[in-house]
């Protein structure tokens, strides 16, 4: 299997897109056949059935299981903070990483409840990216190094991967990535983040619009170089490694889905193996989901980040598979299947 660890250009990564595993149609059909004979009306479990079928297709198993769930939280700092886009200092990023490592954050509790192993990876917190309102945020080699770090962090034996992030200033980075990838104005994409007021949001919108104009030639994975943070690039690398190993991915909220906008912009098929865990209350998130044609599993008015929504949605995915794998068929339960009888 080709690994991005040996690549030296973003173009080499782009070329991988058409060579990656795709959904297993035979396993999907077998799972659909099973759904049709379980002791319920077909479709009665709604999205739970669709989740089970999605997992079957990507795990190449008519009855997939989650025995090992991995959660990855990547952390990075951002040069755009020099423009006053965040009410908190960048030192908070490292402080929150320490909190994750000590087990004191929301993501720790949700991973415990969901049964996911959490790994936290800090990426050069003492060296923020460059201020993308003035110059590209990263060089190509910096993007590649962060992507390789993300890919290397993926456990190839995981049955599902939860992705999250931490980084003061990364809601502005996310707005710039989304605005450049999907169009619109800065106002369309900025939100309160960690607590910006109306004046702060207006500042962010202006900075985003000016930066998108400055880097108007950036496309595809080049968006990471123009605007991205190391944590966003690492998320993209993890998504790619998961795809290479047929590991379904649960993307968290606004920051996490904006992070993969460069992948989608490069080739929409990059995200075929990804589910979106929840709808963030950040106003730009619904626009991203419309742009990438994905529906969230949950809508709980959350906007924390950390992978918290994805860790919570893991329980829904497990519930979907429990029903799919554990329910009796009509024949096993001795229940008349009037649908099959009628056909």
65: burial class by Cβ within 10 Å (0-12, 13-18, 19+)?
A: middle
Using CA atoms, how far apart are residues 123 and 137, in angstroms rounded to an integer?
14
Q: For the chain, where are the alpha helices, taking DSSP H only?
A: 10-16, 25-37, 47-59, 91-102, 106-114, 140-152, 170-182, 186-189, 198-214, 222-227, 230-244, 254-259, 261-266, 284-292, 308-326, 330-333, 338-342
Strands 116-122 and 69-75: parallel
Of 49, 209, 231, 306, the active-site residue reads: 306
Active site residue 49: no
Which residue matches tokens 């009628």?
342
Using CA atoms, how far apart are residues 195 and 216, in angstroms rounded to an integer?
29
279 token code pair: 């709808």
Residues 6 or more apart whose CB falls under 8 angstroms from that of 44 comprise none
Q: Which residues are catalytic?
A: 306
């Amino acid at each position: 299997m080709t690994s991005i660890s040996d690549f030296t250009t973003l173009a080499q990564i782009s070329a991988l897109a058409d060579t990656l595993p795709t959904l297993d149609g035979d396993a999907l059909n077998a799972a659909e056949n099973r759904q049709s004979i379980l002791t319920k009306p077909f479709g009665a479990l709604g999205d739970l059935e669709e989740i089970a079928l999605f997992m079957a297709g990507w795990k190449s198993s008519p009855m997939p299981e989650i025995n090992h769930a991995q959660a990855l939280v990547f952390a990075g700092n951002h040069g755009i903070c020099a423009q006053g886009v965040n009410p908190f200092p960048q030192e908070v990023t490292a402080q929150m990483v320490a909190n994750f490592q000590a087990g004191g954050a929301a993501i720790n509790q949700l991973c415990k409840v969901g049964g996911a192993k959490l790994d936290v990876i800090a990426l050069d917190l003492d060296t923020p990216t460059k201020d993308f309102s003035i110059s590209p945020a990263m060089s190509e080699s910096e993007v590649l190094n962060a992507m390789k770090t993300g890919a290397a962090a993926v456990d190839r034996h995981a049955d599902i991967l939860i992705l999250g992030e931490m980084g003061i200033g990364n809601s502005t980075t996310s707005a710039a990535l989304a605005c450049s990838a999907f169009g619109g104005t800065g106002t369309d994409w900025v939100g309160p983040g960690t607590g910006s007021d109306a004046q702060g949001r207006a500042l962010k919108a202006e900075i985003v619009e000016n930066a998108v104009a400055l880097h108007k030639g950036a496309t595809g994975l080049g968006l990471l170089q123009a605007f991205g943070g190391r944590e966003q690039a690492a998320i993209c690398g993890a998504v790619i490694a998961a795809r290479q190993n047929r590991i379904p991915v649960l993307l968290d909220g606004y920051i996490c889905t904006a992070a993969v906008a460069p992948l989608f912009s490069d080739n929409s098929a990059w995200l075929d193996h990804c589910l979106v865990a929840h709808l963030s209350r950040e106003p730009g998130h619904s626009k991203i989901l419309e742009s990438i044609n994905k529906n969230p599993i949950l809508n709980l008015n959350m906007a924390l980040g950390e992978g918290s929504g994805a860790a919570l949605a893991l329980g829904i995915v497990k519930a979907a598979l429990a029903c799919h794998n554990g329910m009796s068929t009509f024949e096993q339960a001795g229940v008349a299947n009037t649908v099959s009888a009628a056909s």
